[in-house]
Structure 1
């Protein structure tokens, strides 16, 4: 796992940027503290790199060269089928290798297969290859977007980086993307491929790019998730196929020359991964987190029971409200863009604990999107009765719902049942609606609507059943914008690599064929039904049908109590009042404290943005260094609000 920073000059003047590139590369040190590499390639390219050594620790240094120094590459990720590809390249093409690692396999694959190499890779990756002979670059990102890659185009050339913070010295921090701010307030993250700064974008998941200096970048989509649900005559055969495919994925994801552990929550996804990982390493360590004095949020007890049942050692840690306040500025710095997901905080602390013992951990990300794990996927089934009514009747019921007071039973059901799926479901988060954003945003633009993000996705999956269409939208939005950014940035904050066995092409091949009634069922309140049956033989019986939690965070409780003054001070002193009506948000916070409404997610969304703005726009706060706590305590405005 590594950090990438590459500059390709449009005028053969890469040397002019070498010092600035080397300095910016230090912002990525947490991604790869084991080695630092920096090279000028002719007059065209400056490549900087930070390496976290996982495979072929003694060799596979970067930047990496191949074929008589024709190609040079900087690479972040892991290729799990590199041994199989290496054997094929040797047998069919006579390829030669100087290392035992996975990076050189990418270079050899590009030499022999060209841009199609990306589609052959089974793993998580983001890389840039420079062909000195053709004076042409090729870059790619993995199918799901597990590993990040930002790019910035300027008159001087093109920059690529694993994290946006390394590109900020080369652009204007005040040039905000107002559309993505509006989308953030709804989705709780700025959607791919953009970012919160105009001009700084991401290579989209499942795409590769090709370009020459001074020429436009050409992007090609090499992968798109294709759901093809089929009828199942023998359910047990399906369950066995899921189990064996996942087991093989776990086995491949454990390939490493360093210690591998796993995260363990109270749910079936991580428990299933730990159970299968133990088959290949009986001494695997598992890590979990809990909260001081808040048993209803605590997963420690359930995780401990699961660990005991599986026979693995569990290492737990606990945090309180103060730890949440202390860590949030650092977390926002690592994120690059604001993500208003409170579970970032417990993930930060459990990753910190894991990094004390291992270099790699396995996680359960992707299981919900692949197998139908979110409760909202059952909604189309529960709304069938009202959705089947004539359009005129539904319109009348819609009008009735508008006059029913907030909080009255039945209002939400009527609203949802009389709203088309494409307007009802925007992904797994829907923080602020348009009417409230009109009140919240300075300079609200009614033409900026979330449908600009989700509309094309609904069109791409037309013809599928509604729960599967929801999965497709989540894979393209929620998974990429929240789940995987969270996993990458927070683990890398501690120089820890998270691997995700569910997000594997072979696992998706099976998951994509599962019919809707094997994913979600109203009777019994089931989600991920087929996956639960597939894992029933390896996880504790109490976990098989346990509702999803996944490191829940007591934000609702703490914002009304221990964290109220801290949050109110942030809102009172933040420097982004020209963008957001912060007094309105303070009112939401007071209503939350008084128990008038649960506004915790709305308030948290703005708190995260306030800190992000202080760090990346105002640049009045720099929590990316160890003395962040003393900095915050010393500052009278933004600093004092997190002391």
Structure 2
């Protein structure tokens, strides 16, 4: 694994010299000064090591994995021995920013163009890798780990606007982080600093959908070819590779293809002791039918909460998706046997896999109700008690999509945050995050709009965040064949009746998997990664949660009495407040780690900081 941190500056001021001094205290393996750029690099494994090139015209740093490296090299030279970093510089000089779209892989990129007097930070098309930055008067600092910037600046304050958004999304939406004045480059974008150090963010890869009417058998053929090519490309040259395996179609499809390439493939699964919250048995059945070995781990409530601080430390920002913890454990098990693991992330967003995408069909009747009447119905529904059957249905049907859908998870509504946050600001609602995306797809069907929102927010902010951070926390590299520009180029052309139709999700993907994936998987409903948080917060984790709330140093941000009241209402069984509680509790754990500094591993494990 690798980490790097760099500074771009106009003049070497005392501020710059102080930052460089602090970086050197972190004991990186290599330091480089290239004109107006200072770089510190720490290499943990050869393939992922950052490549650096410094010429009279350019300083370029590439970090990550490029799956079409040879293809790009051949565009500039017939000599296969030309280093990839040199080919990249030549292609940049020839095609400018257009070269970013051609890189197939998981990467971050820094370019200082001396001729144009500009510097750029680039993040891969879907946001599998992470690139943070902090601006100062004469330049900016950048790193693939937020901790690298925080430790250098010796300053770590909570961004209360980011906290306000986190409470709705269960993650901090890009480009914000939970830390003041530290930002993330958005997925599929690059950030440019011009000759006056003015910053602008530009989209280079559009992840919109453009349906093309195509015969079903032709689409099935294209999906299979794209996925087989992606799995083969990611496995090529890797002997120490396995595959995560849940009870769902996505990971099973990937594992089935991988088994054709590597017959002795090992697969890895996790689950929980509580009945109904484990997919291990289904995964084992799938593994038996595929003819592959399955290694599984059962997680207890005690293990779950014991590892939580370390997990959030690796996450760097709070993420309240309970599935990040089992992902940590399955990565830990996998690392005992392999260096790489294939996984099924991305299929739901690209191929329409979430049940909520079918909502437009169930709410179709409201399209025929006059707007004035819908407003009245909405007001009437608001007056009904929460436990009245049909209230939520009426509210959803009479509320415009852009005012209610912010992604696959929605935790706190704005009025709920007003009673929870001590410094609520009504100028920063969740609509600030989603509105720009809705404007780009205003004329698209509702399901397409929902997919577009998820690909730009939920996918990089939650799904890929936990996949990246949890695998790297264990020294494992996760490879996601669905998260591939060549797979997405197929998925983006699917008409809706091939995704959400016939009472199911991912319709065409299921048909493409038929004959490859065992039948018992094809017929299963989507479960996600079930975690028994709802039960635990009433029983095994009740005391832990209450103590955390009472001892948390978050009094300047949160109404802690309201949080305690929520815990009591949940424990009594009057309401299911598990997801809301978990979102607040995770922020409190994050605060204990990074602000209160209650955990010793913060300093002990700095040497394995990866992002």
* TM-score in terms of structure 1 length: 0.89
Q: Distance in 1 between matches of 2:291 and 2:98?
A: 43
Query: Whole-Å Cα distance in 2 between the matches of residues 383 and 16 of structure 1?
Result: 59
Among 245, 265, 282, the alignment partner of 1:264 is 245
Q: Is the 8 A contact 1:333 1:615 kept in 2?
A: yes
1:603 matched to 2:584: no
The offset of 1:251, in angstroms, is 1.1
C-alpha separation in 2, matches of 1:437 and 1:471: 26
Q: Summarize the Cα distance change of 1:197–1:568 in structure 2 as closer, same or farther, 3 Å threshold.
A: same
1:312 & 1:181 partners in 2: Cα distance? 44
Q: Counterpart in 1 of 2:558?
A: 580
Question: What SS is found at the alignment partner of 1:89?
Answer: coil
- Partner Cα distance (1:613, 1:157) in 2: 29
Change (3 A) 1:72 1:161: same
Q: How does 1:199-214 map to 2 (within 5 A)?
A: 199-211=181-193
> Which of 18, 21, 27 is the equivalent residue of 2:20?
18
Conservation of the 8 A alpha-carbon contact between 1:81 and 1:122:
yes
1:550 to partner: Cα distance: 3.3
- Which residue does the alignment assign to 1:636? none
Who is 1:83 aligned against?
70
Map 1:244-323 to 2 at 5 A. 244-257=225-238, 259-292=240-273, 294-323=274-303
State how far apart, in whole Å, the 2-side matches of 1:213 and 1:166 are. 26
Task: Give how far 1:302 is off.
Answer: 0.5
SS in 1 for 2:295: strand
Does the aligned pair in 2 maintain the 1:15–1:46 contact within 8 Å?
A: no
Match of 2:37 among 41, 45, 63: 45
2:349 is aligned to: 369
Q: What SS does the corresponding residue of 2:76 show, helix, strand or coil?
A: helix
Secondary structure of the residue aligned to 1:76 is strand
Equivalent position to 2:121, from 139, 146, 149? 139
Alignment of 1:374-385 (within 5 A): 374-385=354-365
Match in the other structure for 1:520? 500
State the Cα deviation string for residues 339-384 of structure 1 (Å, max 9, x = none). 1111111011111111122111111111111000111000011010
Question: Equivalent of 2:390, from 410, 420, 423?
Answer: 410
Distance 2:93 2:148 in 1: 29
Q: Equivalents in 2 of 1:406, 1:210: separation in Å?
A: 48
User: Which one of 456, 461, 466 corresponds to residue 441 of structure 2?
Assistant: 461
Aligned 8 A contact 1:254 1:260 in 2: yes
Give the distance between the partners of 1:440 and 1:177, measured in 2 at CA: 16
3-state DSSP of counterpart to 2:256: helix
How many Å separate the matches in 2 of 1:341 and 1:23?
A: 34
Q: In the superposition, relative to structure 1, how do residues 139 and 394 fare at CA in structure 2: closer, same or farther (>3 Å)?
A: closer
Q: 2 CA distance for matches of 1:141 and 1:499?
A: 17
After superposition, the Cα gap between the structure-2 partners of 1:614 and 1:172, relative to the gap in structure 1 and judged at 3 Å, is same
Contact 2:72 2:88 in 1 (8 A): no
What are the within-5 Å matches in structure 2 for residues 543-554 of structure 1? 543-554=521-532
Aligned residues: 604
Residues 30-53 of structure 1 deviation map (CA, whole Å, 9 limit, x = unaligned): xxxxxx3322224x2221123343
Q: Is the alpha carbon distance of 1:284 and 1:70 closer, same or farther for their aligned partners in structure 2, counting shifts above 3 Å? A: farther
- Quickly say closer, same or farther: Cα 1:590–1:201, change in 2 above 3 A: same
More moved, 470-479 vs 236-245 = 236-245
Q: Alignment partner of 2:576: what SS?
A: coil
SS state of the match for residue 462, structure 1? coil
Native 8 Å contact 1:176 1:198 kept in 2: yes
8 Å CA contact 1:63–1:72 kept in 2: the answer is: no
Q: Which residue of 2 aligns with 1:634?
A: none
Tell me, in whole angstroms, the C-alpha distance in 1 between the residues paired with 2:231 and 2:572: 47
User: 2:173 corresponds to which residue?
Assistant: 191
Task: State the distance in 2 between where 1:219 and 1:599 align.
Answer: 38
Of residues 74-83 and 15-24 in structure 1, the stretch that sits farther from structure 2 once superposed is 15-24
Residue-by-residue CA offset, 1:176-218 (whole Å, 9 max, x unaligned):
3222111111111111111112221111211224446762244
Contact 2:132-2:142 at 8 Å conserved across structures: yes
Three-state SS of the structure 1 residue aligned to 2:467 is helix
Moved more, 152-161 or 261-270: 152-161
* Alignment-derived partner of residue 331 in structure 1: 311
Deviation (angstroms), 1:475 = 0.6
CA distance change for structure 1 residues 609 and 622 in 2, over 3 Å: closer, same or farther? farther
Residue 609 of structure 2 is matched in structure 1 by: none
Instruction: Report deviation, 1:18.
Output: 3.4
Contact 1:15 1:40 in 2 (8 A): no
RMSD of the alignment, in Å?
A: 2.3
Gaps of 5+ in 2: 607-611
Query: Contact 2:241/2:338 (CA < 8 Å) preserved in 1?
Result: yes
The answer on whether the counterparts of 2:23 and 2:152 sit within 8 Å (CA) in structure 1 is: no
Residue pair 1:371, 1:519 contacting (<8 A) in 2 also: yes
Aligned counterpart, 1:4: 4
Equivalent position SS for 1:295: coil
2:467 corresponds to 1:487: yes
Q: Secondary structure at the match of 2:63?
A: strand
Q: Could you tell me the TM-score, scaled by structure 2's length?
A: 0.93
Which residue of 486, 511, 515 corresponds with 1:533? 511
**Which residue of structure 2 aligns with residue 125 of structure 1?**
107
User: Does the residue aligned with 1:305 lie in a helix, a strand or coil?
Assistant: helix
Q: Name which of structure 1's ranges 526-535 and 404-413 shifts more when overlaid on structure 2.
A: 404-413
CA contact (8 A) 2:156 2:180 kept: no
Task: Determine if the alignment matches structure 1 residue 166 to structure 2 residue 148.
Answer: yes
Flag the 1:603–1:121 CA change in 2: closer, same or farther, 3 A.
same
Task: Report Cα offsets for 1:397-444 as digits up to 9, x if no partner.
Answer: 223312322212111111111111111211111111112111111022
Contact 2:74 2:80 in 1 (8 A): no
Cα separation, 1, equivalents of 2:195 and 2:31 = 20
Contact 2:4 2:144 in 1 (8 A): yes
